[in-house]
Chain A
Amino acid sequence: MVSPGGPGADVYSVVVYDHHQVIRDAIRPLVDDDHRLVLVGETGGGTTCLDYVRTARPDILIMAMAARDGGPDFARAVKLTCPATQILVLSTANRRRRRLMLDAGADDWVPKSGRVQPLLDGLDRAVERIAPRRP
């Protein structure tokens, strides 16, 4: 695992999966500005995303639930490939769909409202879940 952060600081790798380029473009600076995070991949395709997960084994996967191949089955596939990866769902879906995603292995969800704060909060919660497991 690459740790591009400063000495003594834990760095968490992130993959962004959203088939809308404009969204990925908007999320990238957010990750870049956070010293805890490092973007190891971004994609609009499910297969590529799984490749990233398999090869890069990211700490956090930010995925849009509405993305193609972005349903519960995809979440299960990610967890099978890399159980440690925290799945943060950017969701515009209704409660029931969100429930399905959580049941399939997703760890958290953030409304895809556009506001940055909920997404930052979601990333913080992910980091908090990962940190205790770090050696």
Chain B
Amino acid sequence: MSATQHTTQEPLSLMAVSDQLASAVEQAARVVVAVHARERLASTGVHWRDGLILTTDATVRRESGIEITLPNGRQVPATLAGRDAASDLALLRIDASHGLPSAVQGDAATLKPGHLVMAVARLDASGPRVSFGAVSAVGGPWRTWKGGEYSRRVQSGLQLYPGFGGSPLVDAVGRVHGINSGGLSQQFATTIPADTVERVFAQLLATGHVARGWLGAAMQSVRLSATQHGGDSTRDVGLLIVGVADGGPAATGGLQVGDIVLAMDGRDVREPHEVLDALGMSAPGHTAAFDVLRGGVRTTVHVVVGERPRGRGRGWRARGSAR
């Protein structure tokens, strides 16, 4: 029985819902591939367009000898075109002549808690695999513990089984709302929203990596005394520099341990993440002006923003957490 037959006759039947979900899986599975880039278990990838496949960075554990199982079951070689540990995305390239369709993107801004969603994975030639649930929370822009900047927080109550890292989050009509990352949270499936994926995709395609501004200074918020803020009670908090990286942009530009940063490029900063946000937006090479208090005297220090060192993201990665 076709889905349309049910939707016209019985708009509310469970059979119609069931058929619709299975059709959505069929639709989405045409762009879902298996990625063989680690020992033992494969992970999942999404054919974004033109022979370019996205998966999660954490599941790509070797940079050569990567293979892809296509939806038709054929296994083909792939090359690593770029990776970004902070946003947990890696870009792989296969021969575009395989003729896979492009992913049909949904707008993650339309997702609401309660919407039925699925993760569609592929691990081998045996067909797609499905995990089912509902969107549990949608929030604003956020920065993950790996340092990636996502346009919104999308969490769903579905289980990411082993190999589901890199799977698309699919709605009930088969649109791809983003890519599921297994390493970001334990209890809920966290999705990298499609617009963020698109932005990182473009950067990885152009340069193979994502350049982020870097200062090389550790800071913490401190309360300013009346003499320090000079009677301006709205400026009662600053950022104390507690460490600078040797040879880093902050050290080169003249920022010193003990300086209290009041503003960056004319904007007040009260929390370290405000500086990180500004750095994430600014391209390396930009000269940033820092208003600082040094020994009670206000000065301006100019720092040429560097590029955040690449490599393996921020801090540890538990082996089991990548899915």
| Real binding pair | no
Interface residues of A (CB under 8 A from B): none
